[in-house]
Amino acid sequence: MTIREYQLVLADGETFEGEGIGAELEPNGFAAGEVVFNTVLSGYQEVITDPSYAGQIITFTYPHIGNYGVNATDDESAKPFCRGVIIRDLARRQSNWRSEEHLNDYLRRHGLAGIAGIDTRRLTRHIRDTGALPGALGPADHAALLAAAKAESGTAGVDLVSLVTTPEQYTVGSGPRKIVAYDFGVKATMLRHLGEIGTVTVVPAHTTAEEVLAMNPDGVFLSNGPGDPKEAGPIVDELPKLLGEVPIFGICLGHQVLSLALGGRTYKMKFGHHGGNVPVQDTRTSKVEITAQNHNFAVEAGSVPNVTESHVCLNDGTLSGLVHNEYPAFSVQYHPEAGPGPHDSAYLFTEFAELMDGFQGQAA
């Protein structure tokens, strides 16, 4: 097999040389986006297909990627929305009874380019020092890649939700409760968990509160999604019309837009949280959960009025969850559905079910 010589050039000029993988780019071509790193040891397929990575190039810190192949069951969305992948070592063969395809073939099929053979430890240290920053990879010369990296806008101030949300509503699950799920870039694993507790109508991100209430739901779910919560569309203005009318549960971007709707503030983190081993403490019980996380923005602690700040990230003290003191609404910054990651926080879906059941009882 012919080796394709690629470079990865960051916007600050930092350069890495490696081998092209995945979709083959034109001789002067490149793939550009905001470069971030993820620390999961497994679950690379779920990471690549997480719509929350729209606009970003994913660096895997674990060195050996692709060793168990890919399969249709583990996709978190119909296609990857990330801009590219960066790995240390691409496995030459896959060894798992569930495997249906080699990772390299999967990337090619989806038109996703990547680079392998670089020192991902060095790249990760650089991102930790400088923060997430734009980059470009491909066979183009250094000057062209640097120009492409500098031209990238990053994820702040950019509407990425419109790129990943469903164009029309659909229904999944068969549980006893009626749930409306806002799709800001929802993961399939999230819908599987919700489908166990309710029949879920998934709606586009621009759906109005009036349209949601007309469906007479028992609860409203706010999904994960990519980018800046301030650019997530009309949802921040629509959410106040739902508060107090129906129980609400938000995850990741859903947590952020709920916080904005309640009067809170968000900010972009230096390099974000992307991994499956992040410790979070429930401040009410002191219990610690190991969680999956994937976000570049966070809610400013103390900025959301009339809430109990229920969870905190033990790595850096960032706000990881809140419960409203008056309305039936709560949210977390991390991913209780995992996919990939530990299942310590799956109980939150049960809490959502109990919140819906209790609200129905009050209404009766």
Catalytic residue among 252, 289, 295, 313: 252
Lowest mean pLDDT among 47-51, 324-328, 340-344: 340-344
| pLDDT interval class at 363 (50, 70, 90) | low
Same domain, 104 and 215: no
Nearest-angstrom CA–CA distance, 346 and 141: 47
**Angle between helical axes of 347-363 and 188-197 (0-180°, round to 10):** 40
Domain boundary residue, one of 88, 119, 151: 151
pLDDT of 323 reads 98
pLDDT of 146 reads 98
pLDDT digits (tens, 9 = 90+) for 271-303: 999 999 999 999 999 999 999 999 999 999 999
pLDDT of 101 reads 97
pLDDT digits (tens, 9 = 90+) for 6-31: 999 999 999 999 999 999 999 999 99
For residue 335, indicate whether it is catalytic.
yes
- The answer as to whether 156 is a domain residue is no
Tell me the residue range of the domain where 81 lies.
5-151
Nearest-angstrom CA–CA distance, 95 and 97: 7
Residue 248 · residue 240 · CB < 8 Å: no
Using the predicted structure, report yes or no on whether residue 2 has a pLDDT greater than 80.
Answer: no
Tracing tokens 């038109």 back to the chain, one arrives at: 111
Lowest mean pLDDT among 117-121, 137-141, 171-175, 357-361: 357-361
- The answer as to whether 207 is a domain residue is yes
Using the predicted structure, report yes or no on whether residue 157 has a pLDDT greater than 60.
Answer: yes
Same domain, 169 and 318: yes
- Side-chain half-sphere exposure of 122, counting CA atoms within 13 A: 10
CATH code of 96's domain:
3.50.30.20
Q: From 194, 269, 261, 263, select the one nearest 234 (Cα to Cα).
A: 261
Same domain, 116 and 170: no
For residue 82, indicate whether it is catalytic.
no
For residue 252, indicate whether it is catalytic.
yes
Cα 154–47–179 angle (5° rounding)?
95
pLDDT digits (tens, 9 = 90+) for 159-202: 999 999 999 999 999 889 999 999 999 999 999 999 999 999 99
Please provide residue 149's backbone torsions phi and psi, each rounded to the nearest 5 degrees: -65, -45
pLDDT digits (tens, 9 = 90+) for 224-240: 999 999 999 999 999 99
Provide mean pLDDT across the span 245-255. Answer: 98
pLDDT of 193 reads 96
pLDDT of 364 reads 46
DSSP at 230:
G
Question: 310 in helix, strand or coil?
Answer: strand
CATH code of 240's domain:
3.40.50.880
Nearest-angstrom CA–CA distance, 325 and 329: 9
Residue 184 · residue 164 · CB < 8 Å: yes
pTM (2 d.p.): 0.96
pLDDT of 1 reads 56
